[in-house]
Amino acid sequence: MNGSLQHDLRDARVPVVVVAGFLGSGKTTLLNRLLNNPQGQRMAVMVNDFGSINIDSQLVSSAEQNRIDLSNGCICCTIESDLIQQLQRLLTDTPAAPDVILIETSGVSEPGKVISTLKYPQFRDQLRVETVVSLMDAANFSELTSEMKHLAMNQVSVADVIVLNKVDLVSNAQIARLHRDWLFPGARVYETAFANVPRSLLMEPCADGFSSAVSLGEDPEVAATEKTCQQHRDHSDQFFTFSWQTDGELSLPDVRQWFKALPTCVYRAKGILKLHGMPKSWCQIQLVGSRLEVSPVPDHIENSEHERSTQLVLISWTPLDAQALTDQLNACLINDSSDITRKNS
């Protein structure tokens, strides 16, 4: 069997690919690209979302994959024990161990802590860290506050591969500035849009054309472990979430106005909404910084037979007024046909 992710007599451990990156950088899009091209491999995917509703896991194309949701906390803080438990279940309680495990950390996670967990003694003979990839949002990275930028750089610093994503939204001069100001010399950087990364780049970390992501000849495993020894902050102290669900249908114009009126402390929003006035009633909505995108949901959601409710999650730098946000969203609901005419007028 070919490829570094195939099991052979030299190393029977299950390879793990860690997908990290700040809020809205394109992690789920990249994950879907890998899952939609499994090339015959059994893939298990773990998706960590910081909010109480795991929107990302629902957007992952996993009809034939083993998907595990790690919700309502940060994978490197409050739910590390859940990660350990689920890894042990994958390796011992499933009929056959997966060929590869994909772990998508939340946008506020420190992947170095996850890497350290994967190297715990109980996993030493069962797992190996194949590749750590970190995505950077080329369009929004420079706009992060200093504290948020520090966290984003922490995510980048432990990566084997840095994916500079959304380069279609910025100029060549802006890309050059990002390289100059934020990426250390010799970093293994791949520039792309829509997280369109060659599979071989992530599954075969020694692909030609890229230099080591760790400067000064440091061993990547040693560098990652040393970083996790630094004082670790619980990210619930830095970020705040708001979650909302409804069984009703929402007015698209009202929803757009609601998003425009959100306080600037809200950096990230994502959800699956039932919207009146769209070609498909179910839509995914993504807010990163000031950019709002509304698009049809993936086919595996649109064609799902089970009952679905509108679900929305906000991530903010500062606490939010949950009751006010709930009242505002309830006002966006369409109650009858006359309401449709009034809201769309």
Q: Of all residues in the chain, what percent carry a pLDDT higher than 70?
A: 69
Say which CATH number the domain at 261 has: 3.30.1220.10
Domains held by the chain: number: 2
Residue 81: inside a domain, yes or no?
yes
Higher pLDDT, 183 or 206: 183
Q: Do 154 and 276 have their domain in common?
A: no
Give dist(CA 216, CA 239) in Å, integer.
Answer: 34
Q: Do 249 and 265 have their domain in common?
A: yes
Say which CATH number the domain at 170 has: 3.40.50.300
DSSP assignments along 95-137, one per residue: SS--SEEEEE--TT--HHHHHHHHTSGGGTTTEEEEEEEEEEE
- On the question of pLDDT at 27 being above 50, the answer is yes
Read off the pLDDT of each residue in 259-268 and give the average, rounded to a whole number.
81
Stated length of the chain: 345
> Mean pLDDT of all residues in the chain?
75
- On the question of pLDDT at 172 being above 60, the answer is yes
Q: Structure tokens of 282?
A: 């179910």
Q: Which band of pLDDT confidence, cut at 50, 70 and 90, is reported for residue 171?
A: very high
Contact indicator for 311, 245 with CB cutoff of 8 Å: yes
Q: Do 161 and 180 have their domain in common?
A: yes
Q: CA nearest 138: which of 110, 173, 103, 112?
A: 173
Q: Do 258 and 161 have their domain in common?
A: no
Residue 178 pairs in a beta bridge with none
Residue 7: inside a domain, yes or no?
no
Tens digit of each residue's pLDDT (9 = 90 or more) over 38-83: 888 888 888 876 545 555 556 555 544 455 654 444 444 444 677 8
What's the confidence (pLDDT) of residue 276? 86
Q: CA nearest 49: which of 26, 74, 24, 27?
A: 74
Model confidence pTM above 0.75: no
Amino acid identity at 44: A
DSSP assignments along 181-231, one per residue: HHS-TT--EEE-STT---HHHHH-TT-TT---SSGGG--HHHHHHHHHTS-
Read off the pLDDT of each residue in 109-130 and give the average, rounded to a whole number.
87
